[in-house]
Structure formats: C-alpha cells, structure tokens
Structure 1
Amino acid sequence: MYSLLGEAILVLSVVSVLLASVSLAVSRMSFNHNVWLAGFFAEVLDLFYLPVKFFFFRLSDTRKLDKWMVSLKNIAHRNKFAKTRTRMIIAPHCMRFLDCPASSTKSGIQCVSCGKCVFTRLKEDAEKYGYKLYIVTGSSFVKHIIKDGKYEGALLIACDYELNKVMMGLKGKNIVTYGVPMLNDGCFNTEVEYSELLETLEMFDVNRKFYNR
C-alpha cells in the first residue's frame, strides 16, 4: 500500500512539475504573442505560484514571473473585461506629487485636480471612459473599495508584483481584472506609460466596438 502511495505521489509530482513548466513557458510566450488556453495556464501558475516564485528567486528575477503572469492574465481576461459595464480604476498613490494636497479616506486618496501630477489627467479620462478612479496607498484599501460599490471590472495600474497580487486577490469576487504595468517600481515618483494606458482605455471603450485581436 505504501509503495502504491509513493508511486502516486511521484507521478503527481512529475505531472505538477511538467504542468507548471508548460504554463510558465506559455506565460513567457504571452508577453510577445497571443496564446490559447491562457485562462487555464494562468490558473495553474496561481496554484503553483509560491514554489515557482522560489525557483525564480534562486535562479532568476521574481519580477519576471509576475510580469509574465500579468501578461497571461490580460489575454485571459480581455474578452470578459470588454463585456463589463461598471468599471473602476485602481491606481497606486506613489504616482502622485510628493506634496500632494489631497486628503485620504478609507477608499484612498481623494484627488483635488491640482494639476501637479498625472492624476489630474487620469481623473478626467476615467470619467470620460466611464470609470471610477481610486487612488490607494495599499492593497488593503481594495477591500473597502469593493464594499463601496458593485463593479464588474477593475483596471489596475501598479508594478507587476502588485498587479499579480491584486489579480489573485480579486479572483472569485466576480470582478474581471486587467493590468497596466508601471514603468518603474518604488514608493514614490513612479510612472506609467500614459499612451499605453490611454490605448487600453480606448480599446475597452463601451462606445466603440471591441475587436478581439
């Protein structure tokens, strides 16, 4: 009996390693190409995230793993996100002006459109494209945001690690996520490629037909 159990564990381990390896390869490909079964492979990597991340920590850069996973999830979520109607943008406070005059509440920073940072423009574009903008100082604020209103979709702006973290956190909350990575990491003076962000807003504009690319 113990022999059969050992063999079963061995087979399961081998299958898990192979499945995780294939999913990782697909996630890498998704960064430059469209891939099939993106949702399935994203689920596999979520399941094996910690051991795969340990592998990257020892032999590579964990930021690559998160970047590839976000790319894979964007492909998996793209069609579903296009069908959402009530949407929010969740952005990190580290992109704001250092002497930001805005106050903070349980739902995040309340932008006053002072014109000193990118959030003045983002607030306007969010309203233009039908999003509610939330500027958060940490992922814990997302819990309060979910309680504040019912949203079908969440457009996330963050570093790849935080994007992947929030995507995993919102899975099962009936909120479809799509991520736009920032150009740099850090606690202040971070930036997003605004042209890429604007392209994303236009791609999912409910007033224009969405084409599956």
Structure 2
Amino acid sequence: MSVLEIIGLFSILLITILILMLLISIVVGVYLIRRNKLIFPKIFIYIADNFYSILLKLFLLIGTEETFYNVGTEFYNKYYEEQFKKSKNKVLILPHCLRDAKCPAKLTPNGVECVFCGRCCIGEIIKTAKENGYKVFIVPGSTFLKRILRDVKPDGVFGVACSRDLFYGMNYLSRKGIPAQGQALIKDGCINTMVDVNELLQRLRDSNVDNKNNKTKE
C-alpha cells in the first residue's frame, strides 16, 4: 500500500469519525433542548447562526427537514428567552395567511391593517399583544421584516410563521444580534392557516416583565 493510499484511508476514517461525532452531538443536543437544558450555548448559537446549512444536511441523516426547523426554533426560543423579556421595544409579526379568506382588511405600506371584523383570530391576538407592549405587524412576506427592522428598530421580535420561514427569520435576527421568539403555525399552506391561539396569547403575556413582577408580588 502506497503512502498516498494510506493518507487517503486515514482521511476517510477521520471524516467518518467527525461525521459520527457531529451526529451524536446533534442527537444529544436535540435531547437536551427537549429537556429544556442548554450546554455550551454560546458555541451552539455560533454554529446554528453560521453553519445551519451543514447542520441541516447532517440532520437529514437522522430526521426530517421540518423537525430540523422545529428543533432550531426551540433552541433559539430557549437561548433568547430571558434577553427577549428584557426588550423594551418589542414587535409581533403575524403572517397575513392567518386571515380569513374573505378578510376585508387592506394592504398598506405597514402591512395589512386589521379592521377587527371578528372573522379570524388576529384581532384577539393584536389586542393581547398591544396590552403587553408590542407593536404588531401583519405582513405578506419575509421582505417586510427588513423594513420593520429599519423603520421601527425593535430590540425584540416575536414571529409567527410556518416552521421553515420561522427558523430562517430567527436565524437572520440572531445574526443581527436581536433577541427573538417564535411560534410555528399548526396548519400552514399560505391560506386560512392556523396557530395555537391560547399558547400564543399566554406566551405574549409571559414575555411582559411587568406582568411577571406583578405576579411575584401577589
């Protein structure tokens, strides 16, 4: 066996070991996230922010693409939870597909302006969000996010979207250094979509530090 062949075999062995180690790390990481535990969070946030495409390819060896996005969202939620609660200028971004198919609201430069007709859940969500200090935007596409960041300059963003768009949105915000929280739709498809409204409303209330302090005093 020549020296080149030995080097080639060694390289293949080393790459195989690295891939196995990464897969084991992914499995352990998913387990810990589901157990609400984060180990070496700063290292993992750097990897998630900058090498998510590689992580996705490796994850597909053991799971599905949607599961990857959901796990990634869980990680971002847990990592930024406390920082997000301290934000003073929060925005809530809702997808326009949550609207009823016969929604009378019109699209404006600031997104869709809800008229509170009661046909869908958006009116109730907006009411709770504003009571807890959020500015709310109903957007027709992800490009609106950049406009909101430019014009409103939020220091915390809560997004609702399909699992894929939610992950990439939170990834973008994380790379910008903006604490984010997210909740995935329970039914997507770009029209008449659905979100767990009760869970969302509770999370909006829980993210309000003043509410939390009041409960502690009580």
Q: Could you tell me the TM-score, scaled by structure 1's length?
A: 0.84
Quick check: 1:181 aligned with 2:184? yes
Deviations along 1:35-90, one digit per CA (max 9) or x if unpaired, are: 33344324323433223323455664200000011111111111111111110001
Please name the residue that 2:103 is paired with.
100
Within 2, Cα distance between the matches of 1:85 and 1:31?
Answer: 29
What is the alpha-carbon distance in structure 2 between the residues aligned to residue 24 and residue 89 of structure 1?
32
1:147 correspondence with 2:150: yes
- What is the 5 A alignment of 1:40-189? 40-57=43-60, 60-189=63-192
Q: CA deviation at 1:183?
A: 0.9
Distance 1:12 1:85, change over 3 A: farther
- Name which of 25, 30, 33 aligns with 1:27: 30
Using the TM superposition, name which of 59-68 and 85-94 deviates more. 59-68
- Provide the identity percentage: 29
Alignment RMSD, CA only? 2.8
Verify the 8 A CA contact 2:49 2:174 in the aligned structure 1: no
The answer on whether the counterparts of 1:20 and 1:48 sit within 8 Å (CA) in structure 2 is no
Opposite residue 167 of structure 1, the aligned amino acid is M
Q: How far apart, CA to CA, are the structure 1 residues paired with 2:47 and 2:24?
A: 10
Q: Which amino acid aligns with 1:45?
A: A
Runs of 4 or more off by more than 4 Å in structure 1? Answer: 5-17, 55-59
Q: List runs of 5+ in structure 1 lacking aligned partners.
A: none
Structure 2: distance between partners of 1:184 and 1:116: 17
Shift of 1:177: 0.4
Q: Where does residue 196 of structure 1 map in the other structure? A: 199
Q: Displacement, 1:208?
A: 2.7
| Count of aligned pairs between the two proteins | 209
Tell me by how many angstroms 1:120 deviates: 0.9
Matched letter for residue 139 of structure 2: V
Higher helix share: 2
Does structure 2 conserve the Cα–Cα contact (< 8 Å) formed by 1:103 and 1:109?
Answer: yes
Listed as ranges, the gaps of 5+ residues in structure 2 are none
Contact 1:183 1:191 in 2 (8 A): yes
Counterpart-to-counterpart distance in 2, 1:160 and 1:189: 16
Cα pair distance change 1:194/1:64, threshold 3 Å:
same
- Higher RCO (C-alpha 8 Å, min separation 6): 2
Partner amino acid for 1:77? Y
